[in-house]
Structure 1
Amino acid sequence: MIFRLLRLFALGIGLCYGAERPNVILVMTDDQGCGDFGFMGNDLIKTPELDAMVQRGAIWSEFYVSPVCSPTRACLMTGRYNHRTKCIDTYLGRSMMATDEYTLAEALRDTGYATGIFGKWHLGDNYPMRPSDQGFEYSFIHKGGGLGQPADPRDNASRYTDALLFENDREVETRGYCTDVFFGRSFSFMEKCRQDGKPFFVYLAPNAPHSPFHDVPVELYNKYKKVDFSGIMVGIKEGQRAIENDKLARIAAMITNIDDNMGKLFKRLDRMGVTENTIVIFLTDNGPNTRRYVGRFRGKKSELYEGGVRTPLLIQWPGGIKEGTKVKHSVAAHIDLMPTVLDACGVEGLPQNLDGRSILSQLKAPDTSMEERPIIIQYHRGDEISKYHSCMVRRGKWKLVHPSGTQRESFVGEPKWELYDLEKDPGEVDDLSVSHPDVVAELVAIYEAWYTDVSSERKDQPSPPYILIDKDKENPSVLTWQDMIEGTWRPNKVGFYKVDFVHDGRYDIRFEGAHQHKMDANKKWTAILQLGKKSYSAPFDPERKLAIFEALSIPAGKYTLKPKVVSDDGEEWSVYHTRILQR
């Protein structure tokens, strides 16, 4: 409590409570590429509302994100490189952010803002890593990385329409297409804040246009499936073009649906009378989820080339930024949004451990320039960062990249660096590493210093963080494949969880099998729970895919929890969800 009061005091220094503070709406879409907009030259995917937003506000052209979602979200929420936060990857426990990170939501909440999240969090589904534990007073979200993924409730059946979602950590049924529902709930939240006289911070993070693509807005899909997308397909063989065209029609329907909702958002702000003093920020979390149009660039999601790590950053704030503002030749990134928002909201005394900086001064005066500094991006699979593996450094016009591939967990050997002059070669075609060894050496030295810094900050802390089993905070706790360590999203790969039982007690633990996989009902199946050094067994019903361990006496403490199901002939299956309820 004392620490929180000190933090509140520090953040409040210099804050002018006499003036009306701006509302903040941060919109970040999921897997929408930098070329999926009309204003970026895409004539096939229609985004008229966002095209108009560019004219009313500001666009920052050279803005970087990570090549996949969780790392971007960690950087966005903390103003720090994600490697400092323990959020390294997107699944298998590697997307759980360290619980002592101080978020943008916490900073704004502590200075009087109402805070709400709508859509995708992807930084931890269990206490103490949920949005409600990290500064959001109201949360309306899906779990894990998206609907149709293993964090979903078993009976959600991959629904984007009428999905089961989570309101303030309780499962609720909804009606309508998920993006429409997220925007609609955010409108209600904003209206209530306005009635209460409180400034609001809304984080709107729809899970579209992320896969799966089976459930998309029907009317828009019917229009787009008549469109020939062959002009924006990249590297698609002739026999796959019809399938790819249908996929792009579905993605386009999801994108235009987002744009439609942005139009509704702007109209709602007008009706509320708060447009002038509301900051609306729009960006994407990484490159596109298929090989498609990315303007002058190349690359896609998970890649370090520009198409995988660039997003247009749009900002509308009539009361603070001139319409038609264009920032063209300055480099910024996801780590800069937290300090920029806090700066715009008049919050001083910022945390001293931020990697990002406020870019507000250049948004207000785009013809000026800020001090040059490098941006470093690194991403690959695995529990830990691996030196030189799948990384890039951007400084000024130069970009150094080692595109070693993201699916391997580590890199061994000497890196084969590529160097590009992005002013002359935004498509990264002409590798200049041989002709400019001095520039390569300078940028490698920058990367090495950064790597030493970020990899050492939490060196002695467990990775990933422990999930706390605490009846006073979350009961039941539902452990899913999303956070299963050393598992996969296949039923025959068994992993484990790191859990910390806060209380001594008696617990009912349920195993719930994966709903999309069939089990041989003619075999005898046994559920086995390994908890630390102890092992428990119970019958497993292959039809209901269910086993129940009743009234287990478990002392408080840290454990490795490994759930599995074994057949009488030795076949082993993982457990989709493990539900822990303290009596």
Structure 2
Amino acid sequence: MSNLRQASFVVLFVATFCSQHALAERPNVVVIMSDDQGGGDYGFVGNEIIRTPQLDAMHDRSGYLSNFYVSPVCAPTRASLMTGRYNYRTRCVDTYVGRAMMDTNEITMAEFLRDAGYRTGIYGKWHMGDNYPLRAMDQGFQDSLVHRGGGIGQPSDPIGAEGKYTNPTLLKNGDEVQMKGYCTDIYFDAAMEFIGESVGRGENFFTYIATNAPHGPFHDVPPKLYEEYRNVDFTPILVNKIPEKRKQKEFDKLARIAAMITNIDENVGRLFEKLDQLGIGQNTIVIYLNDNGPNTMRFVGDMRGMKTHVDNGGIRSPLLFHWPAKVSQDQTSAAMCAHIDILPTILDACEVDVPPGVQLDGRSFLPLLTQDQATWAKRQLVFQSHRGNVPQLFNHFALHEENWKLVHPSGFGTEKLDGPPKLQLYDLSQDPRQKKDLAASHPKVVERLSNAYKTWFTDVSSSRPDNYAAPRIVIGTEHEPVTVLTRQDWRHSQGRPWAAGSNGFWLLENPEAGNYTIEIILASDDSSSGKATIKIGDVTSTIPITAKQQRGHTASVKIDEGELKLSIDLDFGGQVQGPHQVVLTRN
């Protein structure tokens, strides 16, 4: 070897060693978030029925935030988690019909960490857009194994794989792949493989494991665990008394939910074993939380409420923060924190700066877990979610300020208010179950907090021009040559959004005019004959629908450049409805 080549080799070796050493000094990051688990479904918070021994052990050796909040439903929580911003700033305002898509100008946790040199991978549920440029793989995740939509068993399922928690068809970096095993096990297996590869390459990693369990449907659960729970008396964790004739059915559902939760717990144990085997357990941050309240009216500790509620049972989650290198196992805090704080906390821990001009709503809670006497400035947090295209002032919201909770629980399914809001006020330090409304006796507090809420609502509603416009799906690019459109992301126009007779349309953007093949997919192969009227932009085309044929109804259409609306009316003897799915392929 020549002296010049030898010197170059030494420089390269030293540079590589120093780079890997610098990476090794930064923590790795794993965020685990379950779906519909609920803040009371853990042994360490007092649940004596649902077994979570691995999470209980994690709690005993981790930092713990006992006053942590999320949104009442899943997609808003995910948008806030990924961006450190209130979801109303991100255009992700609901859970379906095109309103669970996040604006692509948002900078995600994956993008921050990827740009800082981390490998990034997601496994499970994304729920903020199924098509380019909205997918997780378009928003900073370099490795992606996910299901479509808000869960398996929804209209976004790949054809032929509907509702399969066992042996599901998932999207691996954009491609449909038939998997073997139970979905939660698959996610953890893939995440651990990704982690092992990252360690082998000497790279830091950010791994996001977002299970769709214990979200329904409940027909397909781990059989061994289901058998263990099948004859359990769930009475101790029921909030309301169940009539005897309904008890068997309710207990069976709870047995299935419990089986899914314990399965997640077992996988958490497997993950920690893997981290220790790789020798990285000390300097890997592992965070665990649930995305909203429980999916049945069950035990939530000393609170009231469930999923979709803005009462505390619907918006509270334990936050476990395991980082042995920096956080002692007895470090706990009751400071009020929320999903918007996870991103700035992770960036703080990883020493990643927020670029100038990027506005975060959250703040780092790392000092609460690393310092004995950390200061935590007084703050207000707001949680609001309801159905509809545009959020409405005072509709289904809660504002928290230290012990005060101002809330208007008008109902998640209520799109618009009928009459003035009837605000409720609670002192959570004295009344965590929200039994004594203090609004009448503390009118000045109600007025002050109400004004603060209105200021917040105005602020988050004006983050960009046309703040609540739905994002568009971009078609015909090399990033997604074949676009599968589902009812998850259509803009609903007729009937109940996912019911058999419903209809809707998709908001698209075509970067360049071109010829496309449009395939119409029906919900099943038992339909009668009819016709389909396809309208996209200024183009209208009609094709026959053959009876007893789910797929293969195609049309060739030239699609103009620009922003377009695609609608398809299926006419079966005068009964008009929308398609189950549509496939667009650029020719």
Same fold, TM-score > 0.5, yes or no? yes
What does 1:530-569 correspond to in 2, within 5 Å? 530-567=535-572, 569=573
Q: Which residue of 2 aligns with 1:27?
A: 32
Cα deviation code 1:29-66 (max 9, x no counterpart): 00001010000100100000000011111110110000
Q: Report whether the alignment pairs 1:142 with 2:147.
A: yes
Structure 1 counterpart of 2:125, from 106, 115, 120: 120
CA drift of 1:541 comes to 2.3
Contact 1:93 1:464 in 2 (8 A): yes
1-structure distance, mates of 2:73, 2:23: 41
Q: Report whether the alignment pairs 1:490 with 2:499.
A: yes
2-structure distance, mates of 1:43, 1:350: 46
Could you say what secondary structure the match of 1:156 adopts? Answer: coil
Q: Which amino acid aligns with 2:511?
A: V
Q: Report whether the alignment pairs 1:354 with 2:360.
A: yes
What does 1:206-355 correspond to in 2, within 5 Å? 206-235=211-240, 236-328=242-334, 330-350=335-355, 352-355=358-361
CA drift of 1:551 comes to 2.9
CA drift of 1:19 comes to 6.1
1-structure distance, mates of 2:474, 2:353: 33
Structure 1 counterpart of 2:162, from 157, 161, 164: 157
CA drift of 1:558 comes to 1.4
Contact 2:226 2:259 in 1 (8 A): yes
Q: Which residue of 2 aligns with 1:414?
A: 420
Cα deviation code 1:279-334 (max 9, x no counterpart): 00000000000011111111000000010000000010000101121112x10000
1-structure distance, mates of 2:73, 2:499: 21
Cα deviation code 1:353-388 (max 9, x no counterpart): 100011101111254330011000000001111000
1-structure distance, mates of 2:343, 2:23: 23
What does 1:67-146 correspond to in 2, within 5 Å? 67-146=72-151
% identical equivalent positions: 46
Give TM-score, length-normalised by structure 2: 0.94
Paired residue total: 562
Q: Which residue of 2 aligns with 1:4?
A: none
Contact 1:538 1:547 in 2 (8 A): no
Q: Report whether the alignment pairs 1:514 with 2:519.
A: no
Q: Which residue of 2 aligns with 1:472?
A: 478
Q: Which residue of 2 aligns with 1:189?
A: 194
CA drift of 1:412 comes to 4.1
2-structure distance, mates of 1:378, 1:452: 13
CA drift of 1:157 comes to 2.6
Q: Which residue of 1 aligns with 2:450?
A: 444
2-structure distance, mates of 1:160, 1:506: 37
What does 1:397-412 correspond to in 2, within 5 Å? 397-412=403-418
5+ long unaligned stretches in structure 1:
1-15
Contact 1:30 1:285 in 2 (8 A): yes
Contact 1:187 1:265 in 2 (8 A): yes
Contact 1:495 1:574 in 2 (8 A): yes
- Are residues 105 and 233 of structure 1, via their aligned partners in 2, closer, same or farther at CA, if it must alter by over 3 Å? same
What does 1:353-432 correspond to in 2, within 5 Å? 353-365=359-371, 367-432=373-438
Could you say what secondary structure the match of 2:557 adopts? Answer: strand
2-structure distance, mates of 1:309, 1:65: 5
Could you say what secondary structure the match of 1:546 adopts? Answer: coil
2-structure distance, mates of 1:373, 1:64: 13
Give TM-score, length-normalised by structure 1: 0.94
2-structure distance, mates of 1:460, 1:349: 25
Q: Which amino acid aligns with 1:375?
A: L
Structure 2 counterpart of 1:59, from 48, 60, 64: 64
Cα deviation code 1:506-545 (max 9, x no counterpart): 1110000113x842x3xx3111111123211111123122
2-structure distance, mates of 1:323, 1:287: 26
- Are residues 461 and 415 of structure 1, via their aligned partners in 2, closer, same or farther at CA, if it must alter by over 3 Å? closer
1-structure distance, mates of 2:145, 2:519: 26
1-structure distance, mates of 2:354, 2:234: 50
2-structure distance, mates of 1:455, 1:143: 28
Q: Which amino acid aligns with 1:571?
A: Q
Range moving further from structure 2, 170-179 or 411-420: 411-420
Could you say what secondary structure the match of 1:154 adopts? Answer: coil
CA drift of 1:350 comes to 4.6
Cα deviation code 1:187-232 (max 9, x no counterpart): 0000000000000000000100000000000000000012100221
1-structure distance, mates of 2:279, 2:23: 19
Q: Which amino acid aligns with 1:353?
A: Q
Q: Which residue of 1 aligns with 2:6?
A: none
2-structure distance, mates of 1:313, 1:372: 20
CA drift of 1:270 comes to 0.4
2-structure distance, mates of 1:167, 1:436: 55
2-structure distance, mates of 1:323, 1:190: 24
Cα deviation code 1:403-436 (max 9, x no counterpart): 0111021224211111111111111111111111
Structure 2 counterpart of 1:179, from 177, 184, 203: 184
- Are residues 386 and 156 of structure 1, via their aligned partners in 2, closer, same or farther at CA, if it must alter by over 3 Å? same
Q: Which residue of 2 aligns with 1:5?
A: none
Could you say what secondary structure the match of 2:361 adopts? Answer: coil
2-structure distance, mates of 1:179, 1:366: 37
Q: Report whether the alignment pairs 1:529 with 2:534.
A: yes
- Are residues 269 and 18 of structure 1, via their aligned partners in 2, closer, same or farther at CA, if it must alter by over 3 Å? closer
Contact 2:82 2:109 in 1 (8 A): yes
2-structure distance, mates of 1:347, 1:462: 30
CA drift of 1:166 comes to 0.6
